[in-house]
């Protein structure tokens, strides 16, 4: 489903694009690979969807004093404040060439140009 949505500009692939879509309220459903040893980080603020690849993205949106967190934890926390479901990718799919970049992707509520 995600690959089909991605092909029709109703999906995003990779950590920065998924964080931006979540922050902007565009995520309909998220895919996340379970990588417990991942070193990927995200910047977060006090609001659930206050997350970004860089601190400047949040401060430009009025978030004061953003801090870093594990990217997967920040994504799960942010998604929990929405009504979108989270699907964990099984290990065999998470490591395949069909998996989302960075182990994370999302189907969107509306076309990508309108969302991001």
Tell me the average pLDDT across 100-116. Answer: 81
Backbone phi and psi for residue 66, each to the nearest 5 degrees, phi listed first: -65, 155
Write out the two tokens for 67.
Answer: 């801090």
Whole-angstrom Cα distance, residue 82 to residue 77? 9
Residue 38 token pair: 């991942």
pLDDT digits (tens, 9 = 90+) for 82-104: 999 999 988 777 677 778 888 89
Q: Tokens for 22, please give them.
A: 């979540």
Which among 95, 79, 113, 105 is positioned nearest to 17, based on CA atoms?
105
């Amino acid at each position: 489903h995600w690959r089909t949505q991605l092909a029709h500009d109703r999906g995003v692939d990779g950590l920065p694009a998924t964080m931006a879509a979540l922050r902007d309220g565009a995520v309909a459903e998220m895919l996340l690979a379970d990588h417990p040893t991942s070193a990927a980080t995200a910047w977060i603020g006090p609001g659930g969807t206050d997350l970004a690849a860089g601190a400047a993205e949040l401060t430009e949106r009025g978030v004061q004093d953003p801090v870093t967190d594990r990217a997967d934890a920040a994504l799960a926390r942010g998604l929990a404040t929405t009504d979108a479901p989270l699907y964990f990718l099984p290990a065999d799919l998470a490591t395949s060439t069909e998996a989302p970049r960075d182990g994370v992707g999302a189907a969107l509520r509306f076309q990508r140009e309108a969302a991001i």
